[in-house]
Amino acid sequence: MRTASRSILLPIFFFVFCFTAYCNEQRRIYIVYLGEHKGLKSPQEILKGHHSLLFSVKNSEEEASGAILYSYKHSINGFAALLTEEEATKLSQMEEVVSAFPSEGRSSPHTTRSWKFITQEEGSKGSEKNLIGSKAKCGKNVIVGMLDSGIWPESQSFSDRGIRHFPKRWKGICQEGDAFNSSHCNNKIIGARYYVKSYEYYYGPLNKTYAYRSPRDNDGHGTHTASTVAGRAVRNVSALGGFAWGTATGGAPLARLAIYKVCWPIPGPNPNIENTCFDADMLAAFDDAIADGVHVISMSIGTTGEPPEYSKDSMAIGALHAAKRDIVVVCSAGNDGPGPATVTNLAPWMITVGASSVDRAFDSLVLLGNGVTIKGQTVTPYVLNSSHFYPLVYARDAVHPGIPSNISGQCLPNSLDGDKVRGKVVLCLRGSGLRVAKGLEVKRAGGAAIILGNAVASGNEIPVDAHVLPGTAVSSDDAIAILKYIDATRRPSAKVGSARTVLGVTPAPVMAAFSSRGPNRVEPSILKPDITAPGLNILAAWSESSSPTKLEDDHRSVKYDLYSGTSMSCPHVSAVAALLKSLHPDWSSAAIRSAMMTTATVENARGEALTDTSGRVAGPMDYGSGHIRPAHASDPGLVYDASYEDYLLFACSSIGAQMDPSFRCPETPPSPSDLNYPSIAVSHLNGSVTVRRTVTNVGRGPAKYRVTATEPTGVSVHILPQKLRFKRSGQRRRFSVTLKVRGRRDTPSGDYVAGSYTWSDGTHVVRSPIVVSLA
């Protein structure tokens, strides 16, 4: 009887389960984008219109009302709602709908030295207060919106000492929540909000054991980026162990901060190791930030995998609406380098930032038993007894049976055999898994110390870590040398010395291996990244609820931490944008982007060509226009300006999308290459092509500019006219650039070659890179 009953119930249960799973699988959050709002409407009228549109594909008004998560009601017209694929398709086919696309989760984690290094590298002397910072009043009253993981408001970096009153244009709020109330906002942090609806639909209710349902930062990433942009000067700070000691400051220390928490931990082991940021939540934050009155939006967030086209990209859509209001949007390029075509955040109306090094290292010597000394880097506060050598073992030779050979040397969790590593220095290789987790595995197995060896792709680049045991990290060449020593020695041994902070390291800057590279996968006619800035081993404020490694088993707490990524380079450029906004309040967002790009340098501090971590000369696909120079950007001479309508025309020709329903695409829109951008990119050139540009004189008065060009290999560059005369500031002049394939070709088809052209009046140098791939 029991058996019969079970045989009946099992199919019923299976049917119910599968039906529920099928229904849940079909319903997901879609963003339905409608462009700009038409006319003045109240939030209630806008919501009613969105409900009406939803009702056209739903069975009832109640179902339509219950399906909506966000109604974008300020500058962005659209909504996020639970839809089936069929419902989303029906909506996307309606005339008033620009696009309908799923709300995906994006990744985030894409200083005492970086700002000083930037000013020194510019060739400036003395305190940065004598440079652009003082001219721009340190960004006073400029509002920077941070879309990130929140903020740790108690940090000294966010003190409002000496800052009075809110800026008149500010219209935002201080949203309360877990461990965060209105008193945590001040004249520095003037507003804070959080957005979690799309995240919670996907993952379920937020787990408050490892996250705050409020603007408070449990991760550290948002606090780090916010203080890099606008942190106050705080003396005598350092990372754990006293490394990088000095005065920490942001680039625009008197700018105001508006916090928009959109990134949340991914449930599972070590949930705060990686955050995710959902499109629907981010677009809601964009909509609020624009209405709140920010001047700059900083987003150290990116996509993984194939990038969406602009009309289905929440960050591109939000940035387009911001650009219409001359809000500068700065984004990270991504951490998927050094492979080609890995760069993310590809719209021309946002600034995309790569990452490079500063002139600081944290040297730690490794002495091998054969007397060879190798220089590593680390910021772990733990030190081995230096009076004797320790046995040295390669992780591959000390793993449990059954560990696959292709990952056996990487010290992945629970891979090491304690009997084989106890009391030894263990050589682990980078690759799969987290760097800090490799150290934790060595400690779990009883190892005395870790030597972390770079993969070949990472070359000499060493992001330092506060490991949970003694240890250091070495370059790929040095890792190979240690492996050879182990293989050739019966009883290999090593000492790992303590670390020290070293300044004045050369060459610097160097392009980081992790920094994502071009070309642009959505529109090859736009060069990305745009520019590079410091992003390797940057010290900034940190959340005191997060350990320096973010590992669950690491219970250490720090107020400042060293962190690496284009997430760190992005806020450097955001700070410069804030300074330029203060100095030139009438400049458009495109003019500010142009000023930074055309004054960037392609040389390191020694006056030599910028290189990557392998020593290879870098190029525009690595760094865009070059390394940022704030003081030069404050007086660029000429700028390449662009309007909202220019961007809409670009979208018409680039992706065939009408991104604003009120703006009809012409039958023959201008070529994407003709967008007035401060760089030129041409793909699959066959014969010749002519692109057109317009420059605006932003100097003090009349000027005369002459052009010179460095031609890409196998391509001639002809510019007309070769002289531009300006009678007054604000005057515009047009010119054309013709690129032509030379008769004899040495470059394989599809490969990119690089050159540049430069306008100069004897004082200003306005440089633009050229990249061309041949058909």
For residues 612, 613, 615, 618, the Cα torsion angle rounded to the nearest 10 degrees is 0
Q: What is the pLDDT of residue 272?
A: 80
| Residue 307 in this model has a pLDDT that exceeds 70 | yes
Q: How far is CA 14 from the centre of its chain?
A: 45
Please give the Cα distance from 707 to 733 (Å, whole number). 13
Residue owning tokens 């809000």: 327
In tens, the pLDDT along 685-712 reads 999 999 999 999 999 999 999 999 999 9
Contact 400, 411 (CB under 8 A): no
User: What pLDDT does residue 177 have?
Assistant: 98
pLDDT of residue 23: 36
The proportion of the chain whose per-residue pLDDT surpasses 70, expressed as a percent, equals 93
Q: What's the per-residue H, E or C state across 72-128? A: ECCCEEEEEEEECHHHHHHHHCCCCCCEEEECCEEEECCCCCHHHHHHHHCCCCCCH
- For the chain, the first-to-last Cα distance in angstroms comes to 76
CA 411 to chain centre: 28
* Cα–Cα distance, 112 to 6 (Å, whole number): 68
Is 1 a residue whose pLDDT tops 60?
no
Tell me whether strands 752-760 and 703-710 are parallel, antiparallel or unpaired. Answer: antiparallel
Helix and strand counts by DSSP (H, E) for the chain: 18, 35
Averaged pLDDT, 225-242: 95
Contacts of 761 (CB under 8 A, 6+ apart): 637, 699, 703, 704, 705, 706
Calculate the alpha carbon distances from 380 to 390, 434, 496, 545 in Å. 18, 16, 12, 19
pLDDT, average across residues 65-73: 95
What phi-psi label fits residue 355: left (phi over 0), alpha (psi between -120 and 50 degrees) or beta? beta
The secondary structure element, H or E, covering residue 218 is none
- Taking the CA of residue 53 as centre, how many other CA atoms within 13 Å lie in the half-sphere pointing to its CB? 27
Distance separating alpha carbons of residues 641 and 17, to the nearest angstrom: 57
Q: Is the pLDDT of residue 424 over 80?
A: yes
Averaged pLDDT for residues 443-455: 97
Phi-psi region of 123 (alpha: psi -120 to 50; beta: other; left: phi over 0): left
Q: What is the pLDDT of residue 273?
A: 85
Q: Is the pLDDT of residue 531 over 70?
A: yes
For the chain, the farthest-separated pair of C-alpha atoms sits apart, in whole angstroms, at 100
Alpha-carbon distance 198 to 28, whole Å?
10
In this predicted model, what pLDDT tens digit does every residue of 340-384 receive, in sequence order? 999 999 999 999 999 999 999 999 999 999 999 999 999 999 999
Which of 268-282, 533-547, 667-681 has the weakest average pLDDT? 268-282
CA-nearest of 364, 363, 381, 112 to 241 is 381
Run of H or E including 683: strand 680-685
> Could you read off the pLDDT of 139-148 as tens digits, one per residue?
899 999 999 9
Bridge partners, residue 82, by sequence: 29
Q: Which two tokens stand for residue 85?
A: 């694929």
Partners of residue 248 on adjacent β-strands:
234
Distance CA 545, CA 370 (A): 44
CA angle 294, 299, 300 (to 5 degrees): 155
Q: Which residues pair with 449 in a beta bridge?
A: 425
Q: Which of 148, 313, 336, 761 is catalytic?
A: 148
Per-residue pLDDT, 11:
30
Q: Does 75 participate in catalysis according to the annotation?
A: no
Report the mean per-residue pLDDT for the chain.
92
Q: CB-side exposure of 46: number of CA atoms within 13 Å?
A: 20
Residue 108's pLDDT is what? 60
| Total Cβ atoms within 10 A of residue 344 | 29
Q: Which residues, other chains included, contact 652 with Cβ-Cβ below 8 Å and sequence gap of 6+?
A: 658, 665, 666, 669
CA distance 8 to 434: 48
In the Cβ-directed half-sphere of 722, how many Cα atoms lie within 13 Å? 4
pLDDT at 34: 96
Tokens of 89: 């398709």
Average pLDDT over residues 620-633: 97
CB 363 within 8 A of CB 374: no
Q: What is the pLDDT of residue 270?
A: 82
Would you call 686 exposed, middle or buried from its count of C-beta atoms within 10 A (0-12, 13-18, 19+)?
A: exposed
Per-residue pLDDT reduced to its tens digit, 326-342: 999 999 999 999 999 99
For residue 84, what are its two tokens? 């089936």
For residue 775, what are the CA distances in angstroms to 521, 600, 670, 746, 752? 17, 30, 22, 13, 10
pLDDT band at 40 (very low <50, low <70, confident <90, very high): confident
**Ramachandran area for residue 487 (φ above 0: left; ψ -120 to 50: alpha; else beta):** alpha
Confidence label for 109 from pLDDT (cuts 50, 70 and 90):
low
Alpha-carbon distance of 257 to 325, in angstroms, equals: 19
Does residue 743 have a pLDDT over 80?
Answer: no
Please say if the pLDDT value at position 26 is more than 70. yes
**Of 149, 458, 475, 567, catalytic:** 567
Token pair for residue 438?
């490799």
Residue type, 727: K
Strand partners, 726: 703
Look at 349 and 461; give whichever has higher pLDDT.
Answer: 349
Number of Cβ within 10 Å of residue 520's Cβ equals: 22
Peptide bond before residue 11 is cis, with ω within 30 degrees of 0: no
Q: For position 129, what pLDDT does the model report?
A: 39
Q: Do residues 429 and 422 make contact, with C-beta atoms less than 8 angstroms apart?
A: no
Contact present, 248 and 228 (Cβ < 8 Å): no
Inter-residue contact 152 to 543 (CB < 8 Å): yes
Interior/surface letters 620-634, b for 16+ CB within 10 angstroms, e for the rest = bbbbbbbbbbbbbbb
Task: For residue 56, give Cα distances in angstroms to 51, 87, 93, 255.
Answer: 9, 9, 12, 46
Q: Which of 74, 110, 184, 221 is catalytic?
A: 221
Task: Specify the length of the chain in residues.
Answer: 775
Nearest to 264 by CA among 221, 319, 309, 321: 221
